[in-house]
């Protein structure tokens, strides 16, 4: 029986065809009306199944370090009142997840200015803008007007969404960047700044991981934090002792917290409908709270760097191609069925290993391209071995070889 | 007729048709079994996403230019979000002076204070052609939606009403509104839908024709897309009540409404809106895009203009898909037999071309001839036809033939 080698020209060529296909696949979606399909494909991640269906929410305790306060559509005067009530109990830090971009009349701005000036550790959000690809840093930092910002330190509130476009609102938020270079200084993210104030040791340990972006370990939505709706805050203003020394996160949680509103709300992996149409499930300020909880609990998610994941995918493509070739020559009759079972087996193995690596080891092995690889490998292998290769040999024997033979004869 | 590379055999037509039939049956068998294969609860979102997808949405969402679709000038929508009963009474009174054809209130009216309530009740009693809205709630005892949630008696006793449910057995958070029930049977009577009841007042002939000929449920034609002649806000009306003059001879719909659809600039309660085929994101994540009153306006417009869509029945759909798949299988066998070396490349090419043709036929017939072919099954069948064909010829058929040979050999031996 002829020995079938692992490293062959056939395997290398078929692997290269798939790599080229995957490289140019995004170009196919440049057609305007295919945008949503591109969005759908790029937004797909297997790990979401873990966050939405596998992790048992009953085992997650409420995080009492972070208190969420709804500022709803309150005007600046009422926000100032909220801050004064909260500040009375001396929380460790107050973070406000809204911008004050314009000046209003004095009867609105003055009370807010006064209230902010009294907060010991105040953090306001900023927004990193205009990324310069050459310098690998942002060129602008948007902040609230100086009247308010002078009492605060800042942290950017942007989340990391790959391939940012106008459709990004309809993408799932999974990662964030702990810090970013802006011009000549380093701006920490909003939740990192707050965590640092609360526990600098744990935050330093988190930052020492030195990852450009981190996967957010989403564990909690509103029901797993103590939430003070604005009405409740005014009603209970004399009995809020439990917020002493806590991190207060003030942000938009809807006109009331009962019904989700379309503003400053995101799709997260915790969405029970992890793929397809669904309502967004988490307000921005709760996403920040999850990041703070992750840092303070030191419960990080480790992941494979992108370069290594690409190498892994290439190796898997090669492996599949080698196995296909082996099956093709060893079991010609069963080849098709065995090939199909092989692909289903890889898919199932990948699915369960991804989910359980997250569950048991907090480790993400998101090999995004693998699903497309599985879809195209059999087609490419068949096309190559069934048509491309025999046709190339035929073409060589019919046209090129006679030409060279003729050429050799003439030379002789 | 076995298909081994390099062998050229005579065509056996009986075997040719038999093999095409068997491989097509295998395709449909796999499609039938696929929901059970992916039947685990964790795959439910995938199933929901796939079953909610329609090729025709691409046309509504991306290809048909909204600017080119003329609006319906016979409908006026007024936003009544947050209005008190006395404000509503004032609005209806002023509206009725302009003699609209019908007024539909897409809000369940509850009692507030005696002064406002009596003002509203008396206006409702005085005004003709008013339609209130009901909601049909699910009754676990009967497994039907036969519990009617309606406005307080002091309001509803004076007027007729229609139910506003758009999705009966689906969750509005995950599902796209594509059809509606013109009526719903409760006990021995048929309850009319809110938009149908309104048309019955404004254009009774159109409503009767529709009710005689419609399908249950009826697919909504979204071509009258939102571009209504005028959409007013209550605040504007209070400032310039003359706006109401435009209500003369029109159908006026009162409900929660905002013509903008920007989730951040014009925030809304997510639960107030629905996903429709007009959503710019027809696949994947999206924000709900249309208020209930807007959908009712589309339905009314469709009935008034008798601009219906024709749904191809499931059985015909199945036959079309089967024939398509069968012809593809015949083509595969033919290629395999005649030009074996080109087979693998040509199958990929055929798959791409057929998919484009099916997409084109579906979108074209839908938007030009108003026929909803729903060829999703056909598309899936074509997608898996090549691997199934190969599995049939390389594995299933030889193994079955061998098994039958062995079986008949043993039988002969036993004899």
What residues of A are in contact with residue B342 (Cβ under 8 Å)?
A: 387, 391
Taking Cα atoms as reference points, which of A92, A226, A336 lies closest to residue B3? A336
Adjacent-strand bridge partners of A147: none
Span between the terminal Cα atoms of chain A, in Å: 41
B270 contact residues in A (CB cutoff 8 A): 259-262, 265, 279-280
Cβ-based contacts of A277 with chain B (< 8 Å): 49, 52, 174-176, 275, 284-286
Inspect the interface and report whether the beta carbons of B270 and A262 lie closer than 8 Å.
yes
pLDDT at position B217: 86
pLDDT at residue B318 above 80?
Answer: yes
A-chain residues within 8 Å CB-CB of B282? 36
Strands B310-311 and B371-372: parallel
Read off the pLDDT band of B410 (50, 70, 90).
low
Taking each continuous run of H as one helix and of E as one strand, the counts in chain A are 15, 15
DSSP tag of B221: P
Q: Extract the tokens encoding A269.
A: 């992996």
pLDDT value at B5 more than 50? no
Pairing mode, strands B183-186 and B189-192: antiparallel
* Tally of CB atoms within 10 A around B403: 10
How many of the other CB atoms lie within 10 Å of CB of B296? 26
Cβ distance A387 to B387 less than 8 Å, yes or no, reads: no
Interface A-B: count of C-beta contacts within 8 A? 155
The pLDDT of residue B405: 84
Query: Per-residue pLDDT for A398 more than 70?
Result: yes
Tell me if B284 and A36 make a contact (CB, 8 A cut-off).
yes
Mean local confidence (pLDDT), A350-374: 88
Report CB contact under 8 Å: A259, B283. no
pLDDT confidence of residue B261: 65
Taking Cα atoms as reference points, which of B308, B135, B131 lies closest to residue B212? B308
What pLDDT score was predicted for residue B230? 58
Mean pLDDT, chain B, whole residue set: 86
Dist. CA A94–CA A248, nearest whole Å: 5
- Cβ–Cβ of B271/A172 closer than 8 Å? no
Chain B contact set for A262 (CB, 8 A) = 263-264, 267-270, 287
- As a dihedral over the C-alpha atoms of residue A296, residue A298, residue A299, residue A300, rounded to 10 degrees, the angle is 110
CB contact under 8 A, B342 and A387: yes
Contacts of B260 (CB under 8 A, 6+ apart): B266
What the block records as the tokens of A272 is 């029970």
Percent of chain A with pLDDT over 70: 96
pLDDT tens-digit profile of A37-91? 777 877 888 899 999 999 999 999 999 999 999 999 999 999 999 999 999 999 9
Confidence of residue A353 (pLDDT cuts 50, 70, 90): very high
Q: Give the C-alpha distances (Å, rounded to integers) separating B252 from B73, B163, B290, B325.
A: 11, 17, 18, 49
- Cβ count within 10 A of residue A323: 18
Instruction: Tell me, rounded to whole angstroms, the distance of Cα A126 from its chain centroid.
Output: 20
Q: Give B287's contacts in chain A (Cβ within 8 Å).
A: 169-170, 262, 280
Q: What is the pLDDT of residues A175-202, one digit of tens each?
A: 999 999 998 899 999 999 999 999 999 9
B175–A contact, CB cutoff 8 A:
yes
Environment class of A206 (CB within 10 Å of its CB; exposed 0-12, middle 13-18, buried 19+) = buried
Q: How far is CA B299 from CA A67, A259, A271, B79, in A?
A: 46, 28, 32, 18
User: Across chain A, what does the average pLDDT equal?
Assistant: 90
Answer for the pair A282, A270: CB distance below 8 angstroms, yes or no.
Answer: yes
Q: What pLDDT does residue B64 have?
A: 65
Which range among A389-398, B58-67, B116-125, B157-166 shows the weakest confidence by mean pLDDT? Answer: B58-67
- The C-alpha angle A61, A255, A280, rounded to 5 degrees, equals 60
Which pLDDT score is estimated for A173? 92
Q: Which long-range contacts (CB under 8 A, 24 or more apart) does A112-115 make?
A: A112/A76, A112/A77, A112/A79, A112/A80, A112/A83, A112/A148, A113/A147, A113/A148, A114/A80, A115/A79, A115/A80, A115/A81, A115/A83, A115/A84, A115/A87
**pTM of this structure:** 0.87
Pairing of strands A302-303, A363-364: parallel
pLDDT at A366 over 70: yes
In this prediction, residue B387 has a pLDDT band, given cuts at 50, 70 and 90, of confident
Q: Which residues of A touch B269 (CB under 8 A)?
A: 259-262
Q: Do A36 and B398 touch (CB under 8 A)?
A: no
Per-residue pLDDT, averaged over B147-170, amounts to 91
**Domain segments of chain A: what residues?**
9-30+304-407, 52-300
Q: What is the mean pLDDT of residues A22-45?
A: 76
Q: Are A192 and A307 in contact (CB under 8 A)?
A: no
What mean pLDDT is predicted for residues A274-302?
95
| Chain B residue with the nearest C-alpha to that of A48 | B42
> Out of B48, B61, B345, whose CB is closest to A276?
B48
C-alpha to C-alpha distance for A362 and A84, rounded to whole angstroms? 40
């Amino acid at each position: 029986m002829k020995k079938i080698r692992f490293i062959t020209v056939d395997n290398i060529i078929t692997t290269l065809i798939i790599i080229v296909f995957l490289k140019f696949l995004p170009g196919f979606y440049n057609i305007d009306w295919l945008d949503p399909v591109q969005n759908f494909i790029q937004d797909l991640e297997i790990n979401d199944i873990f966050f939405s269906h596998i992790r048992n929410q009953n085992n997650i305790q409420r995080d009492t370090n972070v208190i969420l306060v709804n500022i709803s559509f309150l005007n600046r005067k009422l926000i100032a009142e909220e801050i004064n009530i909260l500040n009375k109990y001396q929380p460790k830090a107050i973070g406000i997840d809204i911008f004050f971009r314009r000046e209003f009349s004095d009867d609105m701005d003055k009370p807010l200015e006064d209230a902010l000036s009294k907060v010991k550790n105040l953090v306001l959000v900023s927004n990193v803008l205009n990324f310069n690809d050459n310098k690998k840093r942002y060129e602008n930092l948007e902040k609230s007007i100086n009247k308010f910002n002078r009492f605060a330190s800042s942290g950017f509130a942007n989340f990391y969404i790959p391939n940012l476009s106008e459709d990004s609102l309809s993408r799932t938020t999974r990662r964030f960047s702990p810090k970013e270079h802006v011009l000549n200084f380093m701006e920490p993210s909003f939740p990192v700044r707050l965590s640092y104030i609360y526990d600098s040791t744990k935050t330093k340990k988190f930052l020492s991981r030195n990852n450009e972006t981190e996967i957010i370990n989403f564990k909690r939505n509103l029901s797993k934090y103590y939430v003070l709706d604005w009405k409740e805050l005014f009603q209970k203003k004399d009995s809020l002792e439990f917020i002493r020394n806590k991190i207060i996160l003030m942000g938009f949680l809807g006109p009331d917290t009962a019904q989700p509103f379309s503003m400053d709300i995101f799709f997260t992996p915790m969405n029970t409908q992890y793929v397809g149409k669904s309502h967004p499930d988490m307000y921005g300020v709760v996403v920040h709270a999850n990041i703070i909880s992750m840092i303070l609990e030191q419960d990080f998610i480790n992941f494979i760097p992108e370069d290594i994941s690409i190498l892994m995918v290439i190796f898997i493509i090669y492996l599949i191609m080698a196995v296909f070739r082996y099956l093709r020559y060893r079991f010609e009759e069963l080849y098709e069925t065995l090939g199909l079972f092989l692909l289903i087996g890889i898919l199932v193995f990948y699915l369960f290993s991804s989910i359980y690596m997250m569950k048991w080891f907090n480790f993400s092995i998101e090999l995004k391209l693998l699903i497309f690889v599985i879809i195209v490998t059999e087609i490419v292998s068949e096309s190559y071995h069934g048509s491309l290769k025999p046709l190339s040999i035929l073409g060589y024997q019919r046209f090129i070889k006679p030409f060279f033979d003729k050429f050799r004869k003439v030379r002789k | 007729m076995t298909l081994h590379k390099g062998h050229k055999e005579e065509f056996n037509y009986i075997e040719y048709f038999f093999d095409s039939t068997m491989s097509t049956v295998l395709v449909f068998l796999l499609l039938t079994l696929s929901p059970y294969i992916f039947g685990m609860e964790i795959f439910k979102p995938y199933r929901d996403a796939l079953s909610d997808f329609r090729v025709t949405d691409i046309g509504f969402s991306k290809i048909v230019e909204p600017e080119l679709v003329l609006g319906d000038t016979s409908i006026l929508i007024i936003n009544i979000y947050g209005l008190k009963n006395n404000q509503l009474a004032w609005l209806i009174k002023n509206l009725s002076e302009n003699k609209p054809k019908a007024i539909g209130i897409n809000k369940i009216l509850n009692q507030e204070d005696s002064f406002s309530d009596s003002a509203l009740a008396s206006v409702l009693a005085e005004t003709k052609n008013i339609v209130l809205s009901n909601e049909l709630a699910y009754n676990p005892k009967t497994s039907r939606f036969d519990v009617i949630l309606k406005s307080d008696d002091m309001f509803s006793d004076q007027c007729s009403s229609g139910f506003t449910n758009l999705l009966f057995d689906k969750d509005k958070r995950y599902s796209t509104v594509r059809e509606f029930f013109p009526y719903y049977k409760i006990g021995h009577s048929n309850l009319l839908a809110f938009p149908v009841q309104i048309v019955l007042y404004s254009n009774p002939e159109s409503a009767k024709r529709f009710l005689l000929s419609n399908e249950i449920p009826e697919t909504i034609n979204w071509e009258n897309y939102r571009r209504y002649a005028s959409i007013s806000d209550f605040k504007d009306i209070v400032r310039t009540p003359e706006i109401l003059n435009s209500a003369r001879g029109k159908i006026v719909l009162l409900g929660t409404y905002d013509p903008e659809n920007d989730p951040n600039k014009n925030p809304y309660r997510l639960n107030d809106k629905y996903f429709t085929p007009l959503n710019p994101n027809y696949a994947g994540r999206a924000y709900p895009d249309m208020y209930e009153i807007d959908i009712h306006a589309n339905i009314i417009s469709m009935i008034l203009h008798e601009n219906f869509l024709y749904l191809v029945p499931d059985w015909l759909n199945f036959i079309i898909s089967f024939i398509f798949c069968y012809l593809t299988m015949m083509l595969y066998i033919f290629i395999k037999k005649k030009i074996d070396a080109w087979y693998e490349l040509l199958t990929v090419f055929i798959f791409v071309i057929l998919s484009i043709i099916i997409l084109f036929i579906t979108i074209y017939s839908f938007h030009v001839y108003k026929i909803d072919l729903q060829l999703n099954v056909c598309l899936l069948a074509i997608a898996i036809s090549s691997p199934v064909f190969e599995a049939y010829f390389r594995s299933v058929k030889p193994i079955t033939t061998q098994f039958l040979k062995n079986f008949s050999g043993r039988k002969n031996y036993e004899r």
